[in-house]
Amino acid sequence: MNTFVAPEVNWAALTPVLIVLAAAVAGVLVEAFVPRPARRPVQLVLGLLATAGALVAVVWRWTVVQDGGPSALVAGALIEDGPALAAQAVLVLFGLLGLLVIADRTESGEGAFVAQAAARPGSTDEADATRAGMAQTEVYPLTLFALAGMLLFAGAGDLLTLFVALEVLSLPLYVLSGLARRRRLLSQEASLKYFLLGAFASAFFLFGIALLYGYSGTVRLSGLAQSVPATVGMDWLLLGGALLVIIGLLFKVGAVPFHAWTPDVYQGAPTPVTGFMAAATKLAAFAALLRFLYVVLPGMSWDLEPVMWVVIILTMLIGTVLGIVQTDVKRMLAYSSIAHAGFVLIGVISLRSLGIAAVLFYLLAYGLATIGAFALVTLVRERDADGNVTGEATHLAQWAGLGRRSPTAAVAMVIFLLSFAGIPLTAGFIGKFAVFSAAIDSGAAVLVVLAVLASAATAFFYVRLVVLMFFTEPDGESTAVVASEGLTSVAVAVCAVGTVLLGVLPGPVLDLANQAAVFLP
C-alpha cells in the first residue's frame, strides 16, 4: 500500500511569491474590515510594500542561487534558477510601476476604475455611486493575485503547476478588464472576450498536458525531457501535446493566429490595467515558453520549426500591417505588441543561451516602454464644449500639438515610441539587436531579414504619432494633459530613465541576463 510522503518545502526560496500572495490575501481582508475612506491608502501602501519587498527577496535569492546553484522546490513543482529569478525580478518591478499608475487619480479626484462594478452601465445606481465618491479598491488585491500567478508561471517546474499558475494570473485580469470608469460597455465587452477566448486557450493547454502525460507518464518538465529521446512509437502524442501546450502559451503572448483578443481587450480595459497586463503577462508567458521549449523540446526543433516560423512570420506581418491603419492609440499599441511578440519569438526559437538572455532583456525594455506609454495615455484627456476635462483622448488626431501643450509628456512619449521602433540609444534597439544576433547565430537569418523589414514598417506608425505631437497644429483646445497626484509621473519618469539607460549603458543588465541564461535540467 502506497503512502503519501509530504515533500520538503524550502520556504525561504518561496519568499518572493509568499510576500505577494500574503499581501493579496491581506488586501481582501482590508476590503472586509477597513472603513471605506481608508481602504485606498491602506491598499496602496500594502501593494507597494509587497512588491518592493518581493523585489528585495528576489535579489537575495539570486545571490543564494549564484553561490549554491539552482534547485527544484516542492518536489519539483517549482524551479529556482537563473531564468526564473530574472523573470520574477522584472515582473515585480512591472508590478510596482503598474500599481503606481493603477492607484493614481487626476486633480479632480477621478480614477481609472468604475465606482461600483456591479452597477449597470448608465444606471442611476452607477451615477449615485460616482457622486458618492465610491472607489473599486478591490483592484489592488486582484492585481497582486495576478502578479503572484505570474511569478509562479515563470518558475513552474511541472505542467500542472503551470496550468494552476495560468489560471491564477488570468482570472483577476479578466475581472480587471471590465472595470473601466468610462466607456463601460466597451470595457465589459473586452472582459467577456478575454474570458471566453482565454477559456478556449486554457482548454487547449489542459488537453496538451493530458497528451503529454499519456506519452511520458509524468507532468514534470524534467521527466518529460528524459522521456522525449527514450520513448518510442508514440511520437504523435508528444507532438500533439507539445503543440497544444504551445498554443496555450502563444495565446498569452498574443501571437497570430491567437491574437484576436489583444486589440479589443487593450482598448476596452482600464488603461492602467492595459499597461500592466501588456508588459507583465507577456513576460510571464515568454518565460514559461522558454522553459518548456529549452528544457523539454530541444530535440524536437526539426518538428516544431516549420510551425514556429509560420507563426512568427504571420505575427510580424499582421501586427505591422494592421498597426499602420489604426486611428486609436491603444489599438495601435496593441498591434505593436503583436509585432513585438513576433520579434521576441525569433529569439525564443534560437535554442541558444544567448537567446534566453536576449529575450529577457528585450522583454524588460519592451515592458518599461509599454507601461510608460499607457501611463501617458491616462493623462491625455478630452475637453468638452464647456472646457471640462472628460475621458481619455485616444484618437490619434487628438494628440496633434501635444508637444506645445505639454512638452514633458510629449518628450517622454517620444522616448517610448523610439524604443518600440528600435532606434539607437534606446533600450528597444539593444533588445532587437540581441534577439536578432541570437537568431543569426542559430541560422535563422531569413527571419531576421523579415523582422528588420517589419521593424522599418512599424516605425511608420510610431513616427506618425511623433509628427502629430510636434509638427502638427492642434485642432482647437479639445485635448488637455491633466495633472494627477503624481504617482503616474513617477512611473513615467522611471520608465523613461530606464529606457534611456538601458539603451546607453546596457552592459551590466546584459551581463546579468547572460548569467541567468541557464535552465535547471
pLDDT for 214-225, tens place per residue? 988 888 988 888
The answer to whether residues 476 and 376 belong to one domain is yes
Order of all β-strands in the sheet with 389-392: 389-392, 380-383, 479-481
The answer to whether residues 176 and 68 belong to one domain is yes
The answer to whether residues 361 and 473 belong to one domain is yes
* pLDDT confidence tier of residue 2, bands split at 50, 70 and 90: low
Dist CA 146 CA 130 (whole Å): 27
Q: What is the dihedral of CA 416, 420, 421, 427, to 10 degrees?
A: 80
End-to-end CA distance of the chain: give it in Å, rounded.
Answer: 32
The answer to whether residues 274 and 423 belong to one domain is no
Q: Is the peptide bond before 272 cis (omega within 30 degrees of 0)?
A: no
**Grid coordinates representing 385?**
464644449
The answer to whether residues 305 and 376 belong to one domain is yes
Burial class (CB in 10 A: 0-12, 13-18, 19+), 134: middle
Query: What is the per-residue burial (b if ≥16 Cβ within 10 Å, else e) of 235-256?
Result: eebbbbbbbbbbbbbbbbbbbb
Q: Is residue 154 in a domain?
A: yes
Dist CA 159 CA 224 (whole Å): 10
Q: Is residue 158 in a domain?
A: yes
Phi and psi dihedrals of 412, rounded to 5? -60, -40
Q: Is residue 383 in a domain?
A: yes
Query: What is the per-residue burial (b if ≥16 Cβ within 10 Å, else e) of 319-336?
Result: bbebbeebeebbbbbbbb
Mean pLDDT of 404-427: 92
Tens digits of residue pLDDT in 24-75? 999 999 998 988 888 889 999 999 999 999 999 999 999 998 888 788 888 8
**Grid coordinates representing 25?**
490575501
Of 22, 284, 25, nearest to 155 by C-alpha is: 284
**Grid coordinates representing 230?**
527514450
Phi and psi dihedrals of 188, rounded to 5? -65, -35
Domain end: 258, 291, 324, which one? 291
Of 176, 174, 178, 198, nearest to 188 by C-alpha is: 178
The answer to whether residues 167 and 89 belong to one domain is yes
Q: What is the dihedral of CA 263, 325, 384, 118, to 10 degrees?
A: -10
Domain end: 239, 256, 291, which one? 291
Most confident by average pLDDT, 63-67, 109-113, 492-496: 492-496
The answer to whether residues 401 and 357 belong to one domain is yes
The predicted pLDDT at position 151 comes to: 95
Q: Is the pLDDT of residue 302 over 80?
A: no
286: containing domain: 10-186+267-291
User: What is the β-pairing status of strands 380-383 and 479-481?
Assistant: antiparallel
The answer to whether residues 361 and 273 belong to one domain is no
Q: Is residue 194 in a domain?
A: no
Let me know the angle formed at the C-alpha of 275 by 269 and 278, rounded to the nearest 5 degrees: 90
Dist CA 20 CA 30 (whole Å): 15
Mean pLDDT of 166-170: 93
The answer to whether residues 284 and 333 belong to one domain is no
Q: How many helices (H) and strands (E) does the chain have?
A: 20, 5
The answer to whether residues 335 and 282 belong to one domain is no
The answer to whether residues 50 and 105 belong to one domain is yes
**What's the structural domain count of the chain?**
2
The answer to whether residues 358 and 397 belong to one domain is yes
* pLDDT confidence tier of residue 244, bands split at 50, 70 and 90: very high
Domain end: 256, 291, 326, which one? 291
Task: List the single range of 89-93, 133-137, 267-271 with lowest mean pLDDT.
Answer: 133-137
Report the predicted TM-score, pTM, of the whole model to 2 decimal places.
Answer: 0.94
The predicted pLDDT at position 352 comes to: 81
Of 126, 112, 136, nearest to 40 by C-alpha is: 136
SS3 289: helix
The predicted pLDDT at position 1 comes to: 54
